[in-house]
Amino acid sequence: MLNRFDDYPIHQTPEPIAHPASSDRNVYDRTWFNGYTADGSAYFGIGIAIYPHRRVMDCAFSVVQRDGRQHCFYGSRLAPLERTDMQVGPFRLEVIEPMRRARVVLDDNSTGISCDLTFSARTSGIQEARQILTDGQRKIMDATRFAQFGYWDGTISHPDGDITVSNWHGTKDRSWGIRGVGEPDTAGAPSQGRGFFFLWTPVHWDDHVTHTMFFDDMEGNAIVREGIVAPKFAGEADIPEQLVEVDHHTATVNHRIRYEKGTRHMEYAEVDLVELDGSTRTLAFDPLIRFQMKGLGYGHPVWKQGAWMGELATHGESFVVSELNPLLPEHVHTQQICRVTDGSREGVGAFELVVIGPYSPAGFTQFLDGAR
């Protein structure tokens, strides 16, 4: 089963590119974006992924404005063998120039949600630490990810009106490997189960970006902790070739979060970038707008990522973010756009947080209890 990429010298196994190296049913390859205004008045998220062993490709686009409704488009199809085919019904992703420019189009459709958006990169691809989570002896997550910062231009239409997107901040997130998605595995001995804490904070500053990622276990012990500082370039043409290392990794990072009472959402937070010599830069996060990640399929009870919905299916829904029950499983995972300060400068960025199960540092003792 050959596709166009088989004509390039990029093979990592004796198999054609369409054949994943792993036989795990949850192999995936995903592109994700966010975009938002500098004042946090509006936000959109985008995702498209292929799950070769599930034979599914799905996508989502979702937009929210402060004090308004979040509008969501979902699409799913039988996965193509041709990996350059990144279209699901009215939705398509075009890689105009790898690591530089991409276009996302959602044509007019029955949901009333559409867009034509172009992402222009301003940083190199920033590779994150490999992320591995296990349930007993089985890996339930084994993924590589890179982030890239840039700006958006284009248009969005949704049931409440139209939006002109001009020089909005944004982040691209590419990841691939193994991750639990779709319908649950067939029954065997009960899973040991486990909770986890995940925090991801890409921040735009005037001339550079900062980025941190945390995976903690239920006691607060670090599984992955990483802090990165990287330059921001004036334009796509100024970005060096990807083989050039331009980002700086800190020695470690720490986090402190104050949760909204009765929820697992952040009310205020601080993140420390700690250098080898012990010097520390503390970033303070004040939220401006909240986006529910179920709008991109994360934890959605029906339109979950990787689920088989048919040879081609689309769906739209809208909800008021402030009216949701914050402790339902599908509402715990959020991104909040924040004003970020470090004592002398001000930036803007995302604060993605999901805490599932008991988590000692926050005082959570149940699967989904809220802050006291």
Q: How many domains does the chain have?
A: 1
| 211 is a domain residue | yes
Q: Give whole-number Cα distances, 332 to 82, 215, 270, 360, 363, in Å.
A: 35, 16, 20, 17, 16
How confident is the model over 15-33, as pLDDT tens digits? Answer: 998 888 888 889 999 999 9
Domain annotation covers residue 369: no
Rounded to whole angstroms, what are the CA distances from 292 to 45, 94, 331?
10, 25, 6
266-274 and 334-341 strand pairing: unpaired
Q: Which residue segment(s) compose the domain that 340 sits in?
A: 25-183+194-362
pLDDT at 134: 78
Per-residue pLDDT band at 246 (split at 50, 70, 90): confident
pTM of the model: 0.95
CATH number of the domain enclosing 347:
2.40.370.10
174, 347, 200, 41 alpha-carbon torsion, rounded to 10°: -80
Q: What is the pLDDT of residues 168-224, one digit of tens each?
A: 999 999 999 998 887 777 667 766 666 889 999 999 999 999 999 999 999 999 999
Share of residues in the chain with pLDDT > 70 (%): 97
Rounded Cα–Cα distance for residues 101 and 48 (Å) = 16
Average pLDDT over residues 314-324: 97
Q: Would 261 be classed as within a structural domain?
A: yes
Residue 122, pLDDT score: 97
The proportion of the chain whose per-residue pLDDT surpasses 90, expressed as a percent, equals: 81
Residue 13 domain-assigned? Answer: no
User: Residue 272: pLDDT above 80?
Assistant: yes
What DSSP string runs through 161-226?
EEEEEEEEEEEEEEEEEEE--SSPPPP-SPP----EEEEEEEEE-SSEEEEEEEEE-TTS-EEEEE
Mean pLDDT of the chain: 94
pLDDT digits (tens, 9 = 90+) for 320-349: 999 999 999 999 999 999 999 999 999 999
Q: What is the DSSP string of 300-349?
A: -SSS-TT----SEEEEEEEEEGGGS-TTSGGGS-EEEEEEEE-SS-EEEE
**Confidence grade of residue 280 (pLDDT, cut at 50, 70, 90):** very high
Q: What are phi and psi of 100, to 5 degrees?
A: -130, -55
The answer to whether position 16 is within a domain reads: no
In a domain, 30, yes or no: yes
Residue 372 lies in a domain: no
Q: Give the per-residue pLDDT at 244.
A: 67
In a domain, 331, yes or no: yes
**Cα distance between residue 268 and residue 329, in whole Å:** 22
Residues with Cβ within 8 Å of residue 277, at least 6 apart in sequence: none
